[in-house]
Chain A
Amino acid sequence: GQNIDQPTEMTATEGAIVQINCTYQTSGFNGLFWYQQHAGEAPTFLSYNVLDGLEEKGRFSSFLSRSKGYSYLLLKELQMKDSASYLCAPMDSNYQLIWGAGTKLIIKP
């Protein structure tokens, strides 16, 4: 079956760095997306990895290891507005996104 595993909740301090891990098992693989979702709002796109390695985009970076079925999202210089849920979503062989339940990130001053 297809399965996504990410922590339910994490807490970090403003200005710090946090890493959100995601492990996945899918039928085929065509890349992995990370989305941010504030409470009561729609998800917004953060990153897409299809090859192994690190993709950096400003304060956010995303890493992929296809052989390990593993990805992480790294958030630097945390701001209060980064309090949100972060959704890991690999794409299977049919180009369908398989969604994890998300990691709720709480930022404290």
Chain B
Amino acid sequence: DGGITQSPKYLFRKEGQNVTLSCEQNLNHDAMYWYRQDPGQGLRLIYYSQIVNDFQKGDIAEGYSVSREKKESFPLTVTSAQKNPTAFYLCASSPTDRETGELFFGEGSRLTVL
């Protein structure tokens, strides 16, 4: 079945460590996104990519990095520079035609900094 797979589902990190969240899709979608969700707030865009080998900063990119070496994969690295990384992270993809295309989400990764 086609879909988006995020891993790990739960992740614990010590302060000062970098961690990488995986996102893989087999929907053949061109565009991929990373969002962060905190309690009581809307989803906030971290990075997005509309084509392989290209990505753009979203509203809260500081302390994060991404790569898009393959169409299917869009990993997110949470670096030690991110001061408050504990959150629920959602990866999504969409077809190129955003005028009618909805977002398809992975199941999310919950990161906790100890």
- In this complex, what residue of B is CB-closest to A102? B42
Query: What mask results when residues 93 to 114 of chain B are scored 1 for a CB within 8 Å of chain A, else 0?
Result: 0000011101111111010000
Chain A contacts of B19 at CB under 8 A?
none
Q: Smallest distance from the beta carbon of B105 to chain A beta carbons, Å? A: 4
| Interface of chain B: mostly helix, strand, loop or mixed | loop
Counting chain B residues whose Cβ lies within 8 A of the other chain, the interface size class is 20 to 34
In the docked arrangement, what's the CA distance between A31 and B103, Å?
13
Within 8 A of B (CB), among A54-97: 87, 89, 91, 95-97
Contact A43 to B105, CB < 8 A, known contacts A4-B42, A99-B43, A101-B42: yes
Q: Smallest distance from the beta carbon of A95 to chain B beta carbons, Å? A: 4
Q: Smallest distance from the beta carbon of A6 to chain B beta carbons, Å? A: 10
Q: Smallest distance from the beta carbon of A31 to chain B beta carbons, Å? A: 7
In the complex the two chains form, is B42's CB within 8 Å of A87's CB? Answer: yes
Chain B contacts of A45 at CB under 8 A?
102-104
Chain B residues at the A interface, C-beta cutoff of 8 Å? 35, 40-45, 48, 88, 90, 98-100, 102-108, 110
- 10 A-B pairs closest in CB distance: A99-B42, A42-B105, A95-B98, A99-B43, A45-B102, A101-B42, A100-B42, A42-B108, A42-B107, A101-B41
20 new A-B contacts at CB < 8 Å, known A43-B103, A99-B35: A4-B42, A30-B98, A30-B99, A33-B103, A40-B88, A41-B107, A41-B108, A42-B90, A42-B105, A42-B106, A43-B43, A43-B90, A43-B105, A44-B105, A45-B103, A87-B42, A91-B98, A99-B43, A100-B42, A101-B40
